[in-house]
Amino acid sequence: MNSKPQNTEYNLALLLKEGNTEAFKIIFNQYKSKLYFFTLAYLHSPAEVDEIIQDVFLSLWEHRQSLNETLSIKSYLYKITVNHILNHLKHEAVKQKFINYALKNQSEVDDQSQESIDFDDLKVMIESIIERLPAQQQKIFKMSRWEGLSHDEIATQLGISVRSVENQVYRALKFIKANLKEEYLTI
C-alpha cells in the first residue's frame, strides 16, 4: 500500500511535475479567479492584476519540476502571488520616487531656464534704454556700472568734478527706472 495521500491535489502536482498540460489547465481554472480577486484587493488595477496572475502561473509552470507534491498547491500559489504583489508594490514605489525626483528636478530646471530667459530679456531692455541716454551720461553710467569705476576715478579720467559724475549717474538711473516701469506696463 502507498503511504502518500491519494488526493486530487497530490495527483495534479505529480502530473504537473511531469509536464502534463492538462493538469496545469485544471490548476489554472481552479485557482485563477481566487488569485485574481485576492490580488485585486491589493492592487486595484485589473490590468496589473492580470499581469500578476499571468506571472504567477508562468512561474508555476517554469518551476514545476521543483514542486513538492506533498505540499498544498493552493498554499504554493498564494505564496508566489504574495511575492509578486510585494515585488510589484516595491517597483511601483521606486518608480513613483523616480517620477517625483524627475518632476522636482525638471521644475527646477524649468524655473532656472525661465529665470535665465527673463534675465536676458531684462538685460536687453535695459541696454536699449541706456542707448537712449545722452552720450556723456551714457559713458559715465557705463564706466560706473559696467566697468565698476568709482565716481572719483571717472571724474579723474574725464576731467570733470565728482559732483558732475554723481549727478549724471543719478539722472541715468532715474531715466532707466522710469523707462523700465513704462516698458513693463506695456508688456
**Which amino acid is it at 75?**
S
* pLDDT tens sequence for the chain (187 residues): 344 444 588 888 899 999 999 999 999 999 999 999 999 998 888 999 999 999 999 999 999 998 887 888 999 999 999 999 998 888 888 878 877 777 776 655 555 666 666 677 777 888 888 888 899 998 998 898 888 889 999 999 999 999 999 999 899 888 888 887 776 655 5
- The pLDDT value given to residue 108: 58
Task: Identify the architecture of domain 8-94 in CATH.
Answer: Orthogonal Bundle (1.10)
**Cell numbers of 147, please?**
566697468
Intervals of CATH 1.10.10.10 along the chain: 117-186
The beta strands (E) that lie in 1-125 are given as none
- The pLDDT value given to residue 126: 81
Report which secondary-structure segment, H or E, holds 33. helix 21-43
Query: What CATH number labels 117-186?
Result: 1.10.10.10
Intervals of CATH 1.10.1740.10 along the chain: 8-94
- The pLDDT value given to residue 5: 43
Scan for cell 543719478, then name that residue: 170
The backbone region for 4, taken as left when phi is positive above 0, alpha when psi lies in -120 to 50, beta otherwise, is beta
